[in-house]
Amino acid sequence: NAGVTQTPKFQVLKTGQSMTLQCAQDMNHEYMSWYRQDPGMGLRLIHYSVGAGITDQGEVPNGYNVSRSTTEDFPLRLLSAAPSQTSVYFCASSYSAGGNEQFFGPGTRLTVL
Amino acid sequence: DAKTTQPPSMDCAEGRAANLPCNHSTISGNEYVYWYRQIHSQGPQYIIHGLKNNETNEMASLIITEDRKSSTLILPHATLRDTAVYYCIVRVYSGGGADGLTFGKGTHLIIQP
């Protein structure tokens, strides 16, 4: 199993540009989520999904969209990038939303100029 | 979810046991204690979790006090690769996912050669 994979590893955007961060898992997990981590801070939940076709907002959803058309994929879209979205983004998955062990991807380091 | 308090940093000699404390004095009866760690620039990694009994796996042991107001993560024979930020997280096992995992600032454990 590849586990949780994220692409790209690094990305530089200009203010106002849009892009999609990809996340995929091959463990047939129902629950997937996106976090951001700012320097010296803990992770904060952006959006999550408890299954295909179902998504909901986390703690810091503004400026981000998600969709879940398949169990495997959970892309995160930045609609109009802002410097405040400069961060490291982690995708995670688990068997269910019920507090099981969560598996994290390696992260995408995003810089918005 | 209950709030947790951890020391910001700790040192431990290689080969010795690393004992990482966590205070969670407001923990509720249905909340579990989870430990994750994050090695520099990588995604968080699940270590162990427990409710009230002590737990052990191949990575670590978790000791929870009888009143459940604090716990200790024990890495029995620390190696240089255990240098990481360790997060103590308290949450309801059957959480619906809306709150995700609440990562504080954790404890930066440095293993000294």
Report the DSSP beta bridge partners of residue A93: A32, A103
Q: pLDDT band at residue B105, thresholds of 50, 70 and 90?
A: confident
d(CA B30, CA A37): 28
DSSP state of B37: E
CA distance B4 to A85: 27
DSSP β-ladder status, A108-112 and A10-13: parallel
pLDDT tens digits for A5-60? 999 999 999 999 999 999 999 999 999 999 999 987 789 999 999 999 999 999 89
Is residue A41 within 8 Å of residue A16, measured between CB atoms? no
Higher pLDDT, B98 or A31: A31
Chain B residue with CA closest to A97: the answer is: B97
Task: Please list every residue in chain A whose beta carbon sits closer than 8 Å to the beta carbon of residue B58.
Answer: none
| E strands, chain A, in order | 4-7, 10-13, 19-25, 31-37, 43-51, 54-57, 64-66, 76-78, 87-94, 103-104, 108-112
Q: Do A35 and B104 touch (CB under 8 A)?
A: no
CB contact under 8 A, B43 and A101: no
Residue A99: list chain B partners with CB under 8 A. 32, 34, 49, 91-95
Q: What is the mean pLDDT of chain A?
A: 93
